[in-house]
Amino acid sequence: MVRGLEVRNILTVDVEECFHRNDLLLSQQQKELLGTRVVEQTERLISLLKAYGQKGTFFVLGEVAERYPHLVRRLVEEGFELGLHGYHHRLIYEQKKEEFRSETQDAKTLLEEIGGKEIIGFRAPSWSITQRSLWSLEVLADIGFKYDSSILPARAYLGGIPGSNPRIHRREEAEIIEVPPSILKTGCLRLPFSGGLYLRMLPYNFIRYCFNKLNKKGLPAVIYLHPWELDPEIPQLKLNWKGRFALYHNLDKVQAKVERLLGEYSFAPVQEVLEDACSFCGP
């Protein structure tokens, strides 16, 4: 098994149903058709990671943890790090500060009680910690989070901060470390490549080029997956072309790409890689 350039990269998973989206308005009937597959999908991903001897961080949505506590316990038993993906899949910048504090604290407590582990990492739905919601970093630090992985350092449909530091770094707003998803930075260009629709769209050789460019500098690549993206058999809904593209594009190609990454590079949970953060953590 090849391990590229001896750098431990960071693998993260957002544990949610495929209807937990902020870019599609789905009816309750559509959600019911798409739902109840997250356990099977996550179990499949767990088995894949075990087969390659890899570990990562699973950011679990509070709704999912509440409905499927056995899945949370399974992740802990298998040695994966637990992080929080919020209680409900809500955009941070559409919430009031105290509303966000209360809901996030409740979700953190729930996940800790089920998993029996302290939760120190957070990821917002749809990269929704933006310039409008940087106040949330102070809230996260106040309630015990040590790191956040919510700021996409590029422009995105619902979130992102294009000028943000693309490296792992300490934030000025609060005593918290930011672990952004990786991008390719070339001149003024900032291109996400490391997960979601970007991973589905881009050719593997380009993704590999981006990994190697970071690893040659001694920097970890930070990738993110959704369990449903490795499930090409999710029910087909009647959606407009944008909805179909966002939900179904290249689902049949994701597992092969992920397997190539797992075979070629070394991956670890966020918490473990941060133990060596002093060697690459930017100001």
Q: Determine the residue type at 277.
A: A
**What is the average per-residue pLDDT within 39-63?**
97
Classify 160 as helix, strand or coil: coil
Architecture of domain 4-279: Alpha-Beta Barrel (3.20)
> Do the strands 147-148 and 81-84 form a parallel or antiparallel pair, or are they unpaired?
unpaired
Q: Bridge partners of 174?
A: none
C-alpha distance from residue 183 to each of 15, 129, 166, 198, 255 (Å): 22, 17, 7, 10, 21
Token pair listed for 97: 């500060």
Query: Does the pLDDT at position 210 exceed 90?
Result: yes
Classify 26 as helix, strand or coil: coil
Percent of the chain with pLDDT over 70: 96
Cα 227 to its chain centre, rounded Å, is 11
Query: Does the pLDDT at position 121 exceed 70?
Result: yes
**What is the average per-residue pLDDT within 79-102?**
96
- Distance from C-alpha of 243 to C-alpha of 9, rounded to nearest angstrom: 31
CA torsion through residues 81, 128, 10, 120, sign: negative
Query: Does the pLDDT at position 87 exceed 50?
Result: yes
Query: Does the pLDDT at position 21 exceed 90?
Result: no
**What is the average per-residue pLDDT within 90-112?**
97
- Distance from C-alpha of 200 to C-alpha of 82, rounded to nearest angstrom: 25
- pLDDT grade for 2, boundaries at 50, 70 and 90: very low
pLDDT digits (tens, 9 = 90+) for 159-178: 999 989 999 999 999 999 99
DSSP at 56: -
- pLDDT grade for 280, boundaries at 50, 70 and 90: very low
Token pair listed for 174: 């609060």
Where along the chain do its domains lie?
4-279
**Per-residue pLDDT, 26:** 83
**Per-residue pLDDT, 226:** 97
